[in-house]
Chains A and B, each alone.
Chain A
Amino acid sequence: SAVISQKPSRDICQRGTSLTIQCQVDSQVTMMFWYRQQPGQSLTLIATANQGSEATYESGFVIDKFPISRPNLTFSTLTVSNMSPEDSSIYLCSVGTGTGGSGANVLTFGAGSRLTVL
């Protein structure tokens, strides 16, 4: 399965600033997914990043707050803009391996980026 490198692994940020998280995959993939995992809550999909097109955002997430880049088939970035303490969370990127057969979307995740906003 794919190996995903994600950085930073953790950061402490000041309110009002922005932080960009990088995700590097060791193989070419069509879609990359960005998730948020808040304490005690489930993984929530933020957006799907496709190379060569605009990211597709889930309900409740907007491009102005979470701009995404996907310059090639192995790399993506997620920026958390104008951060507030409510943005304190773990952010994870993932790719689908499709190893479940018949298109079943099995995911491989990066280790995550733990952001704390003061």
Chain B
Amino acid sequence: SQKIEQNSEALNIQEGKTATLTCNYTNYSPAYLQWYRQDPGRGPVFLLLIRENEKEKRKERLKVTFDTTLKQSLFHITASQPADSATYLCALGPSRWGYNKLIFGAGTRLAVHP
């Protein structure tokens, strides 16, 4: 069955540094991959989507890469700020062979310290 792995340990970084979060998956060929942000007591909020034929996608201080050979996505936040502290979830979109639902990872908690 499909499996998504995100680092379960919290990532602690200093303000101004680049945060890099990893999402690995197995037994799946997603047509796209998404990243969401979740704050305590809130539902996840969509950040970025990257398709299988795209290597990199950027949005302001966010950058996502997608390596379908390694079955891995990296999520970068440059010039991180304490306000970026949250849990970040990756989600796999349906495969090209169908099965129309998103499969979520458990998320990685990011803490940005002043």
Contacts and interface: CB of A to CB of B under 8 A. Distances in A.
B41 interface: yes
Interface string A93-118: 01001001000111111111010000
B43 A105 contact: no
Interface stretch (A13-21, A37-45, A73-81): A37-45
Interface residues of A, number: 25
A100 B33 CA distance: 10
A25 B106 CA distance: 26
Given A104-B32, A104-B93, A42 B46 contact: no
A92 interface: yes
Given A100-B32, A107-B91, A109-B43, 13 more contacts: A4-B43, A42-B89, A42-B104, A43-B89, A43-B104, A48-B101, A92-B44, A97-B46, A100-B49, A100-B93, A105-B93, A107-B102, A109-B45
Which 6 pairs of residues, A with B, have the shortest CB-CB distance? A109-B43, A43-B104, A42-B106, A42-B104, A100-B49, A106-B46
25 contacts: A6-B43, A9-B41, A40-B8, A40-B106, A42-B103, A42-B105, A42-B106, A43-B91, A43-B104, A44-B104, A48-B101, A92-B44, A97-B46, A100-B32, A100-B93, A104-B49, A105-B94, A106-B34, A107-B36, A107-B91, A107-B102, A109-B44, A109-B45, A111-B41, A111-B43
